[in-house]
Structure 1
Amino acid sequence: MNGNAQSQEWLAFLEEIVAEGRLIQASFSSPRRKDDDTARKLTVRPIKLKSGLFYQFERYQSNKVFHENVAPDQLKEQLQSAMDRYKQVLFKTPDADVQVLANKKGALSLVARTTAAKREAVPQEHNRNKAYVLPDGEPVPFLIALGVMTAEGRVVKAKYDKFRQINRFLEMVSDVIPELPRDKQLTIIDFGCGKSYLTFALYHLLAIKEKLPVRIIGLDLKQDVIDACSRLAAKLQWDELSFSVGDISDYDGDSSVDMVVTLHACDTATDAALLKAIGWEASVILSVPCCQHELFRQLAQPALKPLLKHGILKERFSALVTDAVRANLLEIAGYRTQLLEFIDLEHTPKNILIRAVKAGKTDTGELMQEYKCFRDFLGVSPYMEKMLE
């Protein structure tokens, strides 16, 4: 079979499995070029999201995994593009496993077709078999009281996104439990706690599951919300969980705090919470910023005019700049800092969590120089930096 016939056979096969929705999985390997832009491995599988059928491209690159969801009408083009970057791919279909190889000249051919036991190309739920910290099916009193679970422990369908958010948050907390002091009762403050789903989850994890001596305070500006949370804490008989009305900047109820949590505090309220945490030398800081207006008003770098002249792009860019400023200032203040995806972007654009762990005194000269160069290029004067000074 000549090269052209081989290529036609490959394209016909690809056209067939895409048009008929017969792809179960495609596993690409052996990159043609050894460069930073090509993942060492690529896996494609159908998944079911709220908005319908998609194909998830899972790339393994530099010890990290990246995901991209592709619509069915873009699948063929994306698979062809991927095949240009790899020497081989194994396709799994309902009735066969098909291997495609590229020769030294790049021509593609089907080299093996193995008959498989009959199977269905059924898209998997996006979070199939997820090992949650709080499993679906096991009654959790505070989740039942908050309407997230039924009395039997089943997650209420309308609350599943909240259930996933709670578990994602607890995963991130679980990672840093070893960083917390063990020779005393822990003091934790949740600034801007709101309805306190995550505050109750935090107490459940640390006090109930991990059996750590802990005292948690939730702070919010809304009296009715605080009253409701206080009633629930009393109902659960969680004596070391309390709620108060107050402003982040004015809070002075504790001289020593081990963990500071701030979720969706608006604009510079997030900075105020981070500054409090730094002042206390808190061991752990967890922050999910919300609206970020401060630097939006300041950004005016002429070189970035093609970006900044569009309001929606400027808004997103200023949010990223704000979080970069916060992360770098935390590092300068002696914290190991990570920016993590809190929940899937499909649910909310406010999906970045800043996680910082106290690292002790380090030489921050180079970090400071990097930060100043970044700040001065953008021509901004961040609130958090001014307050640190």
Structure 2
Amino acid sequence: MDKIHELVEKILKEESLIYFVLSNIRKKDPEMYDKVTIRPVILKDKKVYQFTYNYQKKVNHENLKEEEMIEKVMTLFEQFKQGQIFTNEADYQILISKKFKVKILKKPPTKEATNLEHNRKKKYILSEGKPNPFLIRLGVMNEKGKVLAKKFDKFRQINRFLEMVEDIMPYLNKKEKRVNIIDFGCGKSYLTFALYHYLVEVSKLNVNIIGLDLKKDVIRDCNEIAKDLGYEDLKFMIGDIEHFTGVDKVDMVVTLHACDTATDAALTKAIEWDAEVILSVPCCQHELFRQIHNDVMKPILKHGILKERMSAIVTDSIRANILEIMGYQTQILEFIDMEHTPKNLLIRAVKTNTVSCESIEEYKKLKAFLGVDPYFERALGDRLYEKLK
């Protein structure tokens, strides 16, 4: 079997593999797969090897890294008598006897290499390969438009965010007036700069965007970048959204990764401003962890990690429910892939002024069932209590 191991290692090192088939299983079992195919694919910008297990009535897939792939192949060859490997350089037929003697036949290549992209290349709002001043200034791409490898996840995140903004454009596309936007907890402001670029340079809106953060050095650097880019209607200020009084009316509130009840404070302020659009990625939902109590759910709540995850889900569902009661159409969406961060849910709410009695009753029942008193409800005060009567 060492010959097979050496051959597979050589092929992977040369990156010449096109297709791999294992067949003629030693022991037939109607519940087992009887053929396995392997091919290299690109998933999420990384090369993996996709194993397809063919059963009589179904197929299963498994994606493995290179080192895992070799180990799995050697294990599978203990079950199969034959293998065919198609590469750019040659075709190989592998025959294994009952006593596991290996014979390898080499033939001229019969297959051509194909595009490894498992899915067609995604069309981003901000194109890769096209130089963009703010992405270059923020170190996401170089001056030729190539996205830097270590920043590709950030590039995808920016585009995902802009896709969500694109969906709510009908609520902002009011060219007869200036659109006021507040971004609370803007940090290094990748998304704030992206938002300005998309709304002003792509959508041609008249906007006033203010980024708020508590870190003085971050605010200083962001203002310097905005000035360098000529983004005249983008300003950064030190402060928190709960006490911000710089504008009377805000059309859109963005709050990304505001910790614990700071998210609720931002949502409350957005409602007070009667904002048309709210985009919020919550973070560190600790408040309800200390409150949730229900004897029926004790088997879940007695485990700290399960209670923590459940508290986060309950917190965001309560936020969404309250927003619905306050007249917003609300969705909870996946912001970025779970593999990059567990803080990957985005609450998107647009003002419709439509409230269903069902939302009110659902909220009351959920509160009573879990025994919680959310900060968001207390912060809204009479605005919400009048609707709950």
Question: C-alpha displacement at 1:365, in angstroms?
Answer: 2.3
Question: C-alpha displacement at 1:179, in angstroms?
Answer: 1.2
Is the contact made by 1:258 and 1:282 (CA closer than 8 Å) also made in structure 2? yes
1:296 corresponds to 2:289: yes
Is the contact made by 2:321 and 2:359 (CA closer than 8 Å) also made in structure 1? yes
Whole-Å separation in 1 of the counterparts to 2:239 and 2:279: 19
Partner of 1:367: 359
Partner of 1:109: none
Partner of 1:34: none
Is the contact made by 1:170 and 1:201 (CA closer than 8 Å) also made in structure 2? yes
Q: Where do 5+ consecutive residues of structure 2 fail to align?
A: 1-26, 54-59, 70-84, 88-109, 382-389
Question: C-alpha displacement at 1:190, in angstroms?
Answer: 0.1
- Identity score, percent: 56
Deviations 1:251-310 (A, max 9, x none): 111110000000000000000111111111111100001111000111121111111111
Partner of 1:185: 178
Is the contact made by 1:137 and 1:155 (CA closer than 8 Å) also made in structure 2? yes
Partner of 2:256: 263
Deviations 1:356-385 (A, max 9, x none): 01002x343221111110111011100001
* Shift in alpha-carbon separation, 1:46–1:52, aligned structure 2, 3 A: closer
1:17 corresponds to 2:33: no
Deviations 1:175-198 (A, max 9, x none): 101111512010000001000000
1:376 corresponds to 2:380: no
Letter matched to residue 35 of structure 2: E
Whole-Å separation in 2 of the counterparts to 1:51 and 1:307: 38
- Structure whose CA Rg is larger: 2
Whole-Å separation in 2 of the counterparts to 1:280 and 1:159: 35
Deviations 1:327-354 (A, max 9, x none): 0000000000000000011111000000
Other structure's SS at 2:298 match: helix
Partner of 2:101: none
Other structure's SS at 1:264 match: strand
Q: Give TM-score scaled by structure 2 length.
A: 0.73
Partner of 2:104: none
Letter matched to residue 166 of structure 1: I
Other structure's SS at 1:217 match: strand
How big is the alpha-carbon RMSD for the aligned residues of Structure 1 and Structure 2? 3.0
Is the contact made by 1:47 and 1:56 (CA closer than 8 Å) also made in structure 2? no
Partner of 2:316: 323
* Shift in alpha-carbon separation, 1:370–1:11, aligned structure 2, 3 A: closer
Question: C-alpha displacement at 1:388, in angstroms?
Answer: 1.5
Other structure's SS at 2:180 match: strand
1:167 corresponds to 2:186: no
Letter matched to residue 347 of structure 1: H
* Shift in alpha-carbon separation, 1:247–1:178, aligned structure 2, 3 A: same
Whole-Å separation in 2 of the counterparts to 1:56 and 1:221: 51
Is the contact made by 1:53 and 1:123 (CA closer than 8 Å) also made in structure 2? no
Question: C-alpha displacement at 1:120, in angstroms?
Answer: 5.5
Partner of 1:241: 234
1:284 corresponds to 2:303: no
Point out the more displaced range, 213-222 or 295-304: 295-304
Partner of 2:204: 211
Partner of 1:110: none
Whole-Å separation in 1 of the counterparts to 2:43 and 2:111: 20
Question: C-alpha displacement at 1:311, in angstroms?
Answer: 1.2
Q: Where do 5+ consecutive residues of structure 1 fail to align?
A: 1-6, 25-44, 58-67, 75-92, 96-116
Is the contact made by 1:46 and 1:56 (CA closer than 8 Å) also made in structure 2? no
Q: Give TM-score scaled by structure 1 length.
A: 0.73
Partner of 1:230: 223
* Shift in alpha-carbon separation, 1:70–1:331, aligned structure 2, 3 A: farther
Partner of 2:128: 136
Deviations 1:232-261 (A, max 9, x none): 000011110000000221111111000000
Is the contact made by 1:47 and 1:54 (CA closer than 8 Å) also made in structure 2? no
* Shift in alpha-carbon separation, 1:193–1:121, aligned structure 2, 3 A: same
Whole-Å separation in 1 of the counterparts to 2:215 and 2:340: 25
Is the contact made by 2:42 and 2:48 (CA closer than 8 Å) also made in structure 1? no
Deviations 1:143-189 (A, max 9, x none): 10110000111000000000000000000001101111512010000
Partner of 2:10: none
Whole-Å separation in 2 of the counterparts to 1:54 and 1:294: 43
Question: C-alpha displacement at 1:124, in angstroms?
Answer: 3.0
